[in-house]
Amino acid sequence: MAHIALSSSRSYDNRRAQPSYRRSVLLPLAFLLPTIVVLLILQVYPAIYAMFLSTTRLRRGVAEPMELRNYERLFQTPSFLDGLGHTATYALSFLFITVVVGMFLALLLNRRIRFTGFYLVILFIPWVLSDVVAGTMWRWLFQPQYGILQEWLYQVFPALDAVYTDQTGSMVIVILASAWQALAYTTILSLGALQTVPNEIIESAALDGANRFQRFFGIILPIIRPTLLVMILLVSIRAINSVGLIYATTGGGPGRATQTASIYLLITGWRQGEFGLGAAVSVVLLVVNIALTLFYLTLIGRKRE
């Protein structure tokens, strides 16, 4: 009954001969100018400024040129290299959980059953929370003495008596919290993809005797593959740049157990005032993002031919 209609785009054909006033260049320019100015100053300039800062060092308020020495230093710093490792662990686990569970939930929500709209709204609540609210909640759930999940866990597995202060345990908490927050996102994107698959194809495959798994892996998955790859790209980027939730949940601790490259950037670049080094980290991460984007885009493009 409550089958969710997810997109409602209607648009009229406005591509006709333009009346005389539309040929004016001044009006569109005036309308666009404020937007262009704001974006140039606060999006384009800072991105370039980050690259410039990464080649400098601040000494008594003056930026000293450093050429590429910040990068050399960065790649000789164990805590940054560990941070990259933590980013990889965190991002891959996060990606795996959100994509697999999100697809599972989307398959369930795509069935003709009642209350799907209701489930979707409930699943979405974590997504609407601020990173710091979500982080505070998870920190409280696993508080070593009074956290309720910690207490329940301890009663079942007495060995797990201090997850929050454990090296591996804290990473697990951070991954779970992030997946919990972002699950709705992969669910709705998967659901959107599933709804593009024509029902007749699936029904005729069912009539031909294909079972559920054959239908999913043989028919549905190849159709939604491009959409799915875009989703995986967006989630990967989100994972690599994730910072607020980790910072609010563990602050990178205990020790440096959950200090990903992004948290390293925040602590070194901002809290310790090593702007050059911090900017270098952001450039490294930006390069990783761009490389990932290009990688997925070629994957998507290859299949289409």
Partner 1 sequence: MVTGRWTRRFDVVFTHAALAIFAAAALFPVLYTLMTSFKTGESVITSPPTFLPREWSLEGYQTVLESDMIRYYLPNTILNSVVSALIVVVLAALAAYTFSRYKFRGSRVLELGILAVMMIPGLTFVIPYYRMASDLDLLGSGQFIMAVYVAWGLPFAIWIIRSFIDSIPIELEEAALIDGANPLQALRLVVLPLAMPGLVAAFLLVFVDTWNEFLFAVVLLTGNARTATVGLYDFQSQFEIAYHVWTAACIVIMTPALIVFLALRKRFFEALLQGAVKG
Site for partner 1 in 67-96 (CB under 8 A): none
Which of residues 1, 17, 31, 302 is near partner 1 by CB under 8 A? 31
Residues 140 and 173: beta-carbon distance below 8 Å: no
Residue 65 interacts with partner 1 (CB under 8 A)?
A: no
Strand spans (E) along 39-188: 56-59, 62-65
DSSP annotation of 65 reads E
Which of residues 99, 189, 194, 228 is near partner 1 by CB under 8 A? 189
Residue 50 interacts with partner 1 (CB under 8 A)?
A: yes
Residue 297 interacts with partner 1 (CB under 8 A)?
A: no
Residues 261 and 80: beta-carbon distance below 8 Å: yes
d(CA 270, CA 252): 14
Residue 160 interacts with partner 1 (CB under 8 A)?
A: no
Window of 64-72, 87-95, 129-137, 167-175 that interacts with partner 1 by CB under 8 A: 129-137
Nearest in space to 221 (alpha carbons), one of 209, 212, 186: 212
Interaxial angle between packed helices 45-53 and 275-304, expressed in degrees from 0 to 180 and rounded to the nearest 10: 120
d(CA 280, CA 285): 9
Window of 35-43, 68-76, 78-86, 162-170 that interacts with partner 1 by CB under 8 A: 35-43
Q: How far is the CB of 51 from partner 1 (least distance, A)?
A: 9
Window of 67-75, 117-125, 167-175, 217-225 that interacts with partner 1 by CB under 8 A: 117-125
Residues 178 and 245: beta-carbon distance below 8 Å: yes
Nearest in space to 264 (alpha carbons), one of 77, 138, 132: 77
Residues 70 and 276: beta-carbon distance below 8 Å: yes
Q: How far is the CB of 57 from partner 1 (least distance, A)?
A: 13
Q: How far is the CB of 171 from partner 1 (least distance, A)?
A: 18
Which of residues 68, 92, 133, 201 is near partner 1 by CB under 8 A? 133
Residues 80 and 281: beta-carbon distance below 8 Å: yes
Nearest in space to 91 (alpha carbons), one of 164, 163, 167, 174: 174
Q: How far is the CB of 33 from partner 1 (least distance, A)?
A: 9
Residue 59 interacts with partner 1 (CB under 8 A)?
A: no
**H-run or E-run covering 58:** strand 56-59
d(CA 164, CA 250): 8
Nearest in space to 80 (alpha carbons), one of 265, 255, 253: 265
* Residue 299 burial by Cβ neighbours in a 10 Å radius (0-12, 13-18, 19+): middle
Which of residues 65, 79, 92, 130 is near partner 1 by CB under 8 A? 130
Window of 37-45, 75-83, 89-97, 157-165 that interacts with partner 1 by CB under 8 A: 37-45
Nearer to partner 1, 61 or 78 (CB): 61
Nearer to partner 1, 106 or 171 (CB): 106
Nearer to partner 1, 171 or 179 (CB): 179
Residue 97 interacts with partner 1 (CB under 8 A)?
A: no
Q: How far is the CB of 186 from partner 1 (least distance, A)?
A: 10
Residue 197 interacts with partner 1 (CB under 8 A)?
A: no
Which of residues 60, 78, 158, 209 is near partner 1 by CB under 8 A? 209
Window of 69-77, 88-96, 143-151, 164-172 that interacts with partner 1 by CB under 8 A: 143-151
